[in-house]
Amino acid sequence: MFNISIQSLSHCQLSGHNVISLLLGSQQHMAVGVDVSDKGSVEAAFKSFQKNYGEPPSLLVNSAGIAPMSPFTDTSEEEWMKVIDVNLKASIIMFVTKLYRHKRQDNAW
């Protein structure tokens, strides 16, 4: 049995519930709104998961990613920084947060 959490910044959080229900036929899941590029938001999502299931998630799949909608030469530095925050920094934040929570739980690897 798996406890599933979909973490999404989009406004389609209910779709996350529906996808899991269709795939697994289980009601033991949750969808959480999270800005994966923000450490505080990620920590709150992990805390919510752990509060709901009593332990941190045992598996992390980070598939967040964005791309600028303008041509390469017309993309501002601010837009590129957001791409880097979501596509690179977020992966590090998610992974480190997961490791920290497992270390605190003294889970075996």
- In order, the DSSP letters of 8-53 are ESSS-HHHHHHHHHHHH--S-EEEEE--TT-HHHHHHHHHHHHHHH
Distance (Å, rounded) from C-alpha 105 to C-alpha 32? 22
pTM of the model: 0.72
Structural domains present in the chain:
4-105 (3.40.50.720)
Residue 86: closest CA among 49, 45, 47, 36: 36
CB 66 within 8 A of CB 15: no
Average pLDDT value for the chain? 79
* DSSP tag of 70: S
Q: Give the Cα-Cα-Cα angle 68, 73, 74 (nearest 5 degrees).
A: 60
Q: What is the pLDDT of residues 65-95, one digit of tens each?
A: 899 999 999 999 999 999 999 999 999 999 9
* pLDDT score at 108: 47
* pLDDT score at 18: 62
Tokens for 24, please give them: 């697994």
* pLDDT score at 77: 96
If you average pLDDT over residues 34-61, what whole number do you get? 88
| Three-class secondary structure of residue 106 per DSSP | coil
